[in-house]
Structure formats: structure tokens, C-alpha cells
Structure 1
Amino acid sequence: MTLWGQLEQYAFIDLVNFVNNQTGTLSLVKAYQGRTLEMYLVKGKLRTLHADGFRIQEQMRVREIIYTLISQYNGKFEFDNRKLRSECDFWLDMDLAQLLTQAAQDTMIPECELPRPHDKFVDACLDKPPTALIQSDTLQDKWQQIQPYLGCGISAAELTGQLFYSERELRVTLHRLLLAGAILPQPKLSERLPVQDQIQVAQGPVALPVKRLNDVKPSFSWSKSWRRFTRSLH
């Protein structure tokens, strides 16, 4: 069976739901940064992903591509289930429906509500375990990965170098952990210093006024001493 069309008439999620239980190759023309994508699906599992013939192996990039397809793509597609592949050619094993659900939820959060890439957060250090506040198993898993980096404060931009998630995924995760009460924004330096230290930080070192030579009063007067001396002679 071969299925083709234009995604201007369908949502990408609807297309995937239609072919989700089948096995075959889903091609999307110029779907990601001008590159044509080829996904090999095996009954709901994403097993391979190529962009212009090159393998996409990192799961972080796979999730980023799925997010882009949901939020932006409206080009041509083709699904072909006539050519089957051997399992030795597979390098991915990702549940496509779960990927789509997570990406769809992420797109529902307005950009203005997400923390900025360089906003830092710290562990809330609650008596109540954060897992009791976090209902989603996926979010609990991400919390366990992020928590070790929260000691000195860390941002989504910094976490991208430590974890295999895109920057936007991490911004969404930090947003959800903040709503759950598991993390707090890191206080700025001026908010952590005493008032006097804040003044010095804002104004710099305070210089003491230097007295001018004319302002210095002599310890004794020569004229008064001379008069006392002449009076003593009389």
C-alpha cells in the first residue's frame, strides 16, 4: 500500500495515528530545515530516521524533529509499506505515540510562560519528597536526572551540555518542576546580600573625603604665643 498527500489538509498527528499500527516507510519532503525525512515504523515504534539520507541517532534530535513536525510542517508526505527492512538495520526503539503526545503537550505552553534559556534554578529542598508532588512518571524521570545539577543553580542552556534533551524540552521541564514546587528560581546576588553590601555592590568602594591643606587647623597659634612671651618680660 502506498499513501501520499499534502499535510496542509491533515495534521501530522492524524497522519501518524492512521499509519501507527502498520509497518513501512514514512517520507516527509523538506520537513526539517529543508531536509527530507524518512521514518521507518514498525507497528507504532520508530526504528530508523534519516534526514537527506543521513542517520539521526541521538534521541534528543529525534524529539526535536518530532516537535518541529507537529508545530510547523505542512508539506508533502508518502507512506510505503511494500519494502520491509531487517532488524539489523534498526538503531532506534522509540514509541512514536508517546513522542507525539509529549511534543503536543509542549507546544500548548506559550513561549512567554517558559523560563528564559539562561534563567537558573535550585532545588527547593522540601521536607515532602518532590516525587509526591510530581504526578507524571516522565517528569519524575527527568527530575532525577536534573536534581544532581541543582546544587549551585543551573539553567536550561547549561543543562543541554549535560543531558540529552533539547533546550526547549529542558525549559518546558523546568517550567513544570517549578509549578510542582520541586525547584525555585536562584536568587540574584543583590537579593542574597545584606543591605549595606548591596549598597557597596551598586556604588563600588566608598572613598573617604581627603582634607585639603587649608582645611587643617594648626594645633597652636604663633601670634598668641608671641604675645604671651612679650608680656612675661614686663
Structure 2
Amino acid sequence: MSAAIPEPTGPAPQGGQPGTGEESVAKLISIAPRPTLAQRLISWASRPPGKLYLPSCVIVALVLLYEDSVPGGHLTSFVLGLGGGAVLATMGALRLGIAMTVARPMIRYYWLRWITPPLIALAAVALSLADVPLQARVDASAADLLHLRETTGSSGVVLPEERWTGFYPISEVSEREGVTLFTVEGAGLLKKSGLAYSPKALETDVFLPGHGNVVYEHVKGNWYSWTDY
């Protein structure tokens, strides 16, 4: 004997066949109230950081590390990094607050994704405070900078083909009281800045006789950063 074929469920429309279960579900969905804007915002905000937020945190951290690798800072990177970091921090705090209010299980289940943005921020801050980006970039460029010092002499504008020396765009090389100054193009938040090489130790954070308005900060070894105030 063959199995009996189940009859379609649902009330039969006038003059037609009974409706299927799928049609009933579709009808219920169509008449269900749509979520409000506030409900959609809460639903979005309670989700863990995902494919857009986490890469954005990494990009902002890299921008800030690049800014720290420039002697005297870099204005464009500083503004972008600070602004982007403030926006991401505000969004993260808002989403975490909403998730703790209405979706605590989401935090426990996706705990790694929730703690990743603060870890990225802490790593960037720690590297910046230790001057790791600046020291690493200077170390990688030191040999080329010293070679440029020998080829250009004590004072001179750098030729276009020699402008990128190591990992820095150098626009000018000069000398003051035995200290070689490399002007880094675009360096400095508000004042002109660059790198300095001195065989002798220099006092830092003070104006030195014969050096004009230049103030030095120690980077590593015989290398310093300078800013012309």
C-alpha cells in the first residue's frame, strides 16, 4: 500500500485550494509590525565588533604609529588618527553599554572580539610611549642618512633623486656647532622638525648656545630629533 499524501493545511480561500504552510508563514511575516529605528539601532549596537570595526581600529592604530615615527610628529596623521580614534572609542563604548544592557550573552560568547579593540589601543599606546616607531625608523634609515651627510657636505638642499633617504623624505641638510641637521619634509605639528646626528651628547629640552631656536630630544645613540621654535 502506498503512503497517504498529506493534504495542504490552512483555510481554503473562496473558490480555491487550501493554502500551504509556507504561504501562511509568509502572510504572518507580511503583517508583522516592522522594527522601529530605535529597535534596529539596539539590534545593530548589541552585536560584537565585526569585519568593519576591527579593521578600522587597526588602521587608526597604524596611522598613529606612523605619526609617532616622524620626528616632531606629523600633522595630517595626528588629526586623522586622533579623530578616528575618538570616533571608534565613542562607538565602542556605546555598543558595549547597549550590549551589557540588553545582550549580555553576546558579550560572553564573543568575548575575544569585544576585547580586541582595547588591546589594539593599548598596544599602540605602549609602542608610542616607548618611542619604538621612531627608533625603528631611524635605525632603518641611519646608514643612508649618514651617507647623505657625506655626499651633500655641511649645508645644502637635497637633490630630488636623493630626497627619499632611508625611510624619510629629506629636504635639506645643514650643520650647527658640529651637529648635522636633517630637515624631514612634512615633519612637525606646527613647527619645522627633523633629525639630528651628533657624535657628542647634547642637552635635551633646552635652548643651546649657537643652535638658535632649535631644541633637541634624544632618540637613540647619536641620533636626536629637533624642532625649530
Shorter-chain-normalised TM-score: which range?
under 0.3
Tell me the TM-score normalised to structure 1 length.
0.25
Tell me the TM-score normalised to structure 2 length.
0.25
Higher radius of gyration, 1 or 2? 1
Q: In proportion to residue count, which structure has more helix?
A: 2
Kindly indicate whether structure 1 or structure 2 has the higher relative contact order, using CA contacts under 8 Å at least 6 residues apart: 1
